[in-house]
Amino acid sequence: MKRKMLVFILMLSFLLIVGGCSQEETDGVSMATENRYRESEIREYEGARLDPAIGPRDNSIKGVQLVDTEDYTLKVTGLVDEPIDLAYEDVLELDTYRRKITLYCVEGWDATILWEGSLLEDIFNTAGMDPKADTVIFHGVDGYTTSLPLETIVNNQLILAYRSNGLELPPEMGYPFIVVAEDKLGYKWARWVTEIQLSDESDYEGYWERRGYSNEADL
């Protein structure tokens, strides 16, 4: 009797494990990944699979920030004709750009997401650029900073995104705004951006750059 029971339990466990594994993957997408997609999130673009906009982990310096756009402004400061405060809606009113771009973190993971946002250059132009500016420093609500050469932003038409995979940017990804720093490592992708500072400090070092990461941040 005892032995029969043991055999039964062993068979049952075996079936559960095998069954569990075959359920684990659909089209090479793990259940854990599958569960991270939000309802009605776009999962495919031009024949290629998109990753969920919400990542499996959070490595932000102070955790996920919750920004209320009712009392929020995006400041454009520094080497500009006139510093300005943009409301969330002001940024959304600029022309919309849509691009599928992959974010690569130094920790080894990556995420391919469909981004929609405004051209950073259009945002700078609302304040008017001082010709002396050659660097752009981004500030996040968590005190995070990082910078990019102005030339990189203009030549590559980099955007400040407010939508990912067809939905509003989630807090985890930087709501209201994330810098989509195409072809640059993840730490250049400032999230929860609250201030864009035009500067001539071309050797400025942001949070991770000061801690030894390359200022070029090339892939």
- Enumerate binding residues for Mo ion (CB under 5 A): 105, 186-187
Question: How many CB atoms neighbour CB 217 within 10 A?
Answer: 22
CA distances, 68 to each of 19, 71, 115, 179, 206 (Å): 44, 6, 21, 18, 25
134 binds ligand MTE (CB under 6 A): no
List the one residue from 144, 162, 177, 204 that touches ligand MTE (CB under 6 A): 144
Stretch 37-66: interaction string toward ligand MTE, x if CB under 6 A: ------------------x--xxxx-----
161 binding ligand MTE? (CB under 6 A): no
* Partner interacting with residue 61 (select from ligand MTE, Mo ion, none; CB below 5-8 Å by kind): ligand MTE
19, burial (CB in 10 Å: exposed 0-12, middle 13-18, buried 19+) = exposed
Phi, psi of 176 (to 5 degrees): -90, -20
142 binds ligand MTE (CB under 6 A): yes
Contact characters 174-203, ligand MTE, x per CB under 6 A: ------------xx-xxxx-----------
Count CB-CB contacts under 10 A for residue 29.
16
CA angle 157, 145, 169 (to 5 degrees): 60
CB of 211 to ligand MTE, least distance (A): 11
Whole-angstrom distance, CA of residue 31 vs CA of residue 35: 6
Nearer to Mo ion, 55 or 186 (CB): 186
Q: Considering the rule CB under 6 A, would residue 105 count as an interface residue with ligand MTE?
A: yes
